[in-house]
Amino acid sequence: MNVRYRMGLTAAGLVSGLLLAAAPTLAADPIKIGVLEDQSGDFAAATIGKVHAIELAVDEINKAGGIAGRPIELVIYDTQSDNTRYQEFMRRVLQRDKVDVVFAGFSSASREAYRPIVNQFDGFAFYNNQYEGGVCDANMVVTGAVPEQQFSTLIPWMMETYGKKVYTIAADYNFGQISAEWVRNIVKENGGEMVGEEFIPLGVSQFSQTIQNIQNAKPDFVVTLLVGTAQASYYEQAAAAAVGLPMASSVNVGQGYEHKRFTPPSLANMYVTTNYIEEVDTPASKEFLAKFKAMFPDEPYVNQEAANSYIAMNLYKQMVERANGSTDREDLRKIIAEGDVCFDGPSGKVCLDPKSQHMSHTIFLAKVNDDHSISFPKVWEDIKPYWLGDAGCDLTVSDPSEQYTPSNPPKKG
Amino acid sequence: MEILGAVFAAVYQFGDAFAFLVLSACGLAVIFGMMGVINLAHGEFIMCGAYVTVMTNRLGVPLPVAILAGALVAGAVGVLVERLVIRHLYSRPLDTIVATWGISLIATQGTLIVLGSTMPGVGTPFGSFEFAGLSYSYYRIVLMLSAVAVLAILYLFFTRTRFGVLARATIQVPSMAEALGVDTRFIYAMTFGLGAALAGLTGGLYAPTMTMVPTMGTTFIMEAFVTVVVGGADVFLGTAPAAAVLAVVKATLTSWYGQLFGQIGLLIAVIIVIRVLPRGISGFILRERA
């Protein structure tokens, strides 16, 4: 079984190698970029679009002459929503395929599974996903939004609009646990009260009891930090039981486009802070959406992480070109340290922060209406990823390669 | 009123957990419990039933008919799988694990490639009602009644119909049944098909309440195997009391400590039961009567 599997992969590798060799080659050596994303399994719905966005960006860049005259060659593996696959393929792209940079990861569990391997082989990886924040690692660039961008905006707005009693249901792994800690802290700082908190194991799809617990606690709104397609069943079941509470989230709609998948009005009154979704009504967003649909007409939805992946590819191009064509990580980090690696893309202008190697974002508050159309009651321009830098992470000085949380900040001094 | 409300809430949660366990397990109880085929593709038969239900419902067919269509298609697929793969493996129970696991992978990935990563659902019918300050979904009551109905129909089917008796005879002593003129190959195929159809029915019933993705079947698998292992070989004497016991464990722990402890409780219950009653609850009941 195992042997045959490996042989099959080797054969597939040979065939793709031959195909690549047969393609018309540009004069220069290609820049190789590894792409590890979940194209099957529980997370596939949210992440297939990321691979397509990378392919779109590469297609545009290659047509315009590549990066510093060198074409991009993608090495794509399907990580199957499985953390061990991330580790296996991360070793493969770094050791065997010898890629210059890797774009990898959806769930925070998968990121923490592959990050030690990136450190071990001293590779360079982009994590193009919103997450619970706190990764201070010179080998990583994070283009997704973090809690100070998503929760410091969303939770106070919700508390002002709906009231101060909050109930959190979150996926039970590092993302949900740390995000729930952020929510708890922000609610407390703003004089609110957590009337309940429940962590749901990944893969759970039945929520009757959870719904009843929420009704008993009588919150003013519910923070839903549910991850994966199984947990998304919550919305249908809560709507069927007429819970009728407003919901706030950093992950829904912007990743899993639940408002397109469920029958209205099950997601009505859901508020999400996101740096991009296809409904964003700006010329740059519409142009991006049109390009995307032209290349992938069957794409069900262009989500936040697709935009982040597209932006990441363009930022990488800029960094390599400003480093005179070098793909060496330290050369590129010197460019980031200059503090003006910015890109005006689908979600507006974004810049990389040298201290944390995270990205600034324009944050849109998306509201799901009764007919599941989206409106934007508020927009926060240019929110910086300030928390890590303020807490004491400075990658221009040292590289701890750690993940910090509000209750476990960097040690001072 | 306060106490009445709390009692109703507890009964509702018990019923909801009971329905999920019974419906998850009933198809597997036939295929694994009775026939001894360790069917890891059980979740994919459920997914098949759910997808067919949603697709036929979207064509304008009323939901109950669509659910039956889902069950029938899953049953037909089950018969096909039995004829092509499973029948070669009746004497090799461990190999059925690998074969059905392969079928499960092919079905999940095939659905992903052909139908895409998600499909819009159909929405839960019937709305909700309020009782003592809490609101509940009517459709959940329908699910509970369906679970009881499925158990009753299966009981009558296996004890009161000629086919049911032949099926039990064939599975107990195939050579003797064959000697008495029973077409055992036909009986095996039909019984496997029945198990698959029950899985499809479960998928159809739960389709309106869930997100439609190729991996949806896996969310039923743990509950299904736990219930069948605790229940033992007999579909009615096993599945029904096992689901009742486990539903109490799950509903109680989930209401006190949350979903995680509900799941831990289920697994601890199964460990205790297979230690104390290796042949499951039905083995215990049958020995008592003998």
Please indicate if any CB of chain B lies within 8 Å of the CB of A232. yes
Q: What is the pLDDT of residue A353?
A: 94
Distance from CA of A7 to the nearest CA of B (A): 18
Mean pLDDT, range B111-140, rounded to an integer: 84
Query: Would an 8 Å CB–CB cutoff place A198 in contact with chain B?
Result: yes
pLDDT surpasses 70 at B194: yes
Put simply, the answer to whether A229 touches B215 (Cβ < 8 Å) is yes
Of A274, A309, A342, at which residue does a domain stop?
A: A274
Q: How far is A138 from chain B (nearest CA, A)?
A: 34
Question: What is the mean predicted confidence (pLDDT) over A159-185?
Answer: 93
Which of A200, A237, A243 minimises the CB distance to B209?
A237
- Whole-Å CA distances, B174 to B87, B181, B184, B202: 13, 11, 7, 29
**Chain A 50-89, CB below 8 Å of chain B: which residues?**
none
Domain residue limits, chain B:
2-289
Q: Are residues A155 and A246 in the same domain?
A: yes
Q: Are residues A140 and A72 in the same domain?
A: yes
Chain B residues within 8 A of A243 when measuring between CB atoms: 135
Say what the pLDDT of residue B213 is: 87
Are B251 and A206 within 8 A, CB to CB?
no
CB-defined contacts A:B, below 8 A: 132
Query: Which of A237, A253, A274 lies at the terminal end of a domain, its last residue?
Result: A274
Q: Is residue A413 part of a domain?
A: no
The mean per-residue pLDDT over the stretch B184-198 comes to 92
pLDDT of residue A9: 47
Which residues on chain A are in Cβ contact (under 8 Å) with B120?
A: 260-263
Q: Is the pLDDT of residue B103 over 50?
A: yes
Is it the case that residue A367 has pLDDT exceeding 70? yes
Note whether A298 contacts B: Cβ–Cβ < 8 A: yes
Judgement on whether residues A172 and A230 belong to the same structural domain of the protein: yes
Domain identity same for A122 and A197: no
Check: CATH 1.20.1070 for B2-289?
no
- pLDDT of A14 above 50: no
Q: Are residues A178 and A238 in the same domain?
A: yes
Sign of CA pseudo-dihedral B77, B80, B85, B87: positive
Full 3-state SS string of chain A: CHHHHHHHHHHHHHHHHHHHHHCCCCCCCCEEEEEEECCCCCCHHHHHHHHHHHHHHHHHHHHCCCECCECEEEEEEECCCCHHHHHHHHHHHHHHCCCCEEEECCCHHHHHHHHHHHHHCCCCEEECCCCCCCEECCCEEECCCCHHHHHHHHHHHHHHHHCCEEEEEEECCHHHHHHHHHHHHHHHHCCCEEEEEEEECCCCCCCHHHHHHHHHHCCCEEEEECCHHHHCHHHHHHHHCCCCCCEEECCCCCCCCHHHHCCCCCCCCEEEEECCCCCCCCHHHHHHHHHHHHHCCCCCCCCHHHHHHHHHHHHHHHHHHHCCCCCCHHHHHHHHHCCCCEEEECCEEEEECCCCCCECEEEEEEEECCCCCEEEEEEEEEECCHHHHHHCCCCCCCCCCEECECCECCCCC
Residue A15 pLDDT > 70: no
In a domain, A31, yes or no: yes
Query: Among A48, A204, A236, whose Cβ lies nearest the Cβ of B259?
Result: A204
In this predicted structure, the answer to whether residue B7 has a pLDDT above a threshold of 90 is: no
Both tokens of B273, joined, read: 């039961």
Which range of residues forms the domain containing residue A54? 26-145+281-362+383-403
Chosen from A39, A52, A205, A208 to mutate, greatest number of chain B CBs within 10 A: A208
Q: Are residues A267 and A318 in the same domain?
A: no
Mean local confidence (pLDDT), A365-388: 93
Distance CA A113, CA A103 (A): 14
Tell me what pLDDT residue A25 has: 45
Domain match, A43 and A93 both: yes
Assess if residue A369 is contained within a domain. no
Instruction: Give which of B254, B255, B264 to mutate to test A binding, by max A Cβ within 10 Å.
Output: B254
Chain B, 88 to 117: residues with Cβ < 8 Å from chain A are: 108-109, 112, 116-117
Confidence of residue A27 (pLDDT cuts 50, 70, 90): low
Angle between helices B218-231 and B2-28 (to 10 degrees): 90
Q: What is the pLDDT of residue B171?
A: 83
Residues A131, A197 share a domain: no
| Count of structural domains, chain A | 2
- Based on the domain organization, do A67 and A179 belong to the same domain? no
Instruction: Let me know: does B46 contact B200? Beta carbons within 8 Å.
Output: yes
pLDDT digits (tens, 9 = 90+) for A74-89: 999 999 999 999 999 9
- A241-273 burial: b if 16+ Cβ within 10 Å, else e: bbbeebbbbbbbbbbbbbbebbbebbbbbbbbb
Tell me whether residue A218 is in a domain.
yes
Domain assignment of residue A219, yes or no: yes
- Chain B partners within 8 Å of A44 (Cβ): 112, 117, 213
**Touching check for A172 and chain B: CB below 8 Å?**
yes
A263 touches B at CB < 8 Å: yes
Please write the tens of the pLDDT for every residue from A281-334. Answer: 999 999 999 999 999 998 999 999 999 999 999 999 999 999 999 999 999 999
Question: Do A292 and A253 lie in a common domain?
Answer: no
* Residue range A45-103, pLDDT digits in tens: 889 999 999 999 999 999 999 999 999 999 999 999 999 999 999 999 999 999 999 99
Q: What is the pLDDT of residue A3?
A: 44
Mean pLDDT of B84-91: 88
Mean per-residue pLDDT for A401-411? 90
How high is the pLDDT of residue A20?
Answer: 47
**Global ipTM:** 0.82
- Among residues A243, A274, A305, the one where a domain terminates is A274
**Residues 247 to 266 of B: which have CB under 8 A from any A CB?**
251, 254-255, 258-260, 262-263
Of residues A212, A240, A300, nearest to B139 (C-beta): A240
- Confidence band (pLDDT; 50, 70, 90) for B6? confident
Q: Are residues A270 and A162 in the same domain?
A: yes
B45 touches B169 (CB < 8 A): no
CA dihedral sign of residues B103, B104, B110, B111:
positive
B-chain residues within 8 Å CB-CB of A241? 128, 135-137, 140
pLDDT of residue B288: 58
- Confidence at residue A378, expressed as pLDDT on a 0 to 100 scale: 93
Residue A138 domain flag: yes
Residues A331 and A343 in one domain: yes
A192 phi/psi in degrees, rounded to 5: -100, -175
Rounded to whole angstroms, how far apart are CA atoms B131 and B225?
Answer: 34
**Chain B residues lying within 8 Å of A300, measured CB to CB:** 116-118
Distance from CA of A258 to the nearest CA of B (A): 9
CATH code (residue A199):
3.40.50.2300
pLDDT band at B289 (very low <50, low <70, confident <90, very high): low
Residue B213 sits at the chain A interface (C-beta within 8 Å): yes
Q: DSSP letters along chain B, please? A: -HHHHHHHHHHHHHHHHHHHHHHHHHHHIIIIIIT----TTHHHHHHHHHHHHHHHHHTT--HHHHHHHHHHHHHHHHHHHHHHTGGGGTT-HHHHHHHHHHHHHHHHHHHHHHH-S-B------S-EEEETTEEEEHHHHHHHHHHHHHHHHHHHHHHHSHHHHHHHHHHH-HHHHHHTT--HHHHHHHHHHHHHHHHHHHHHHHGGGS-B-TTTTHHHHHHHHHHHHHH-S-IIIIIHHHHHHHHHHHHHHHHHH-HHHHHHHHHHHHHHHHHH-TTHHHHHHHHHH-
Q: How far is A190 from chain B (nearest CA, A)?
A: 27
Residue from A212, A301, A370 whose CB has the most chain B CBs within 10 Å, to mutate: A212
Q: How close B16 comes to chain A (CA, Å)? A: 7
The answer to whether B210 faces chain A, any CB pair under 8 Å, is: yes
Residue A9 belongs to a domain: no
Query: Does the beta-carbon distance from B137 to A237 stay under 8 Å?
Result: yes
* CB of A201 less than 8 A from some CB of B: yes
Percent of chain A at pLDDT exceeding 90: 75
Q: pLDDT exceeding 70 applies to what percent of chain A?
A: 93
Do the Cβ atoms of B258 and A232 come within 8 Å?
Answer: no
Q: Which two tokens stand for residue B283?
A: 């083995």
Q: Which residues of A touch B108 (CB under 8 A)?
A: 40
- Amino acid A22: pLDDT: 43
Contact B126, B137 (CB under 8 A): yes
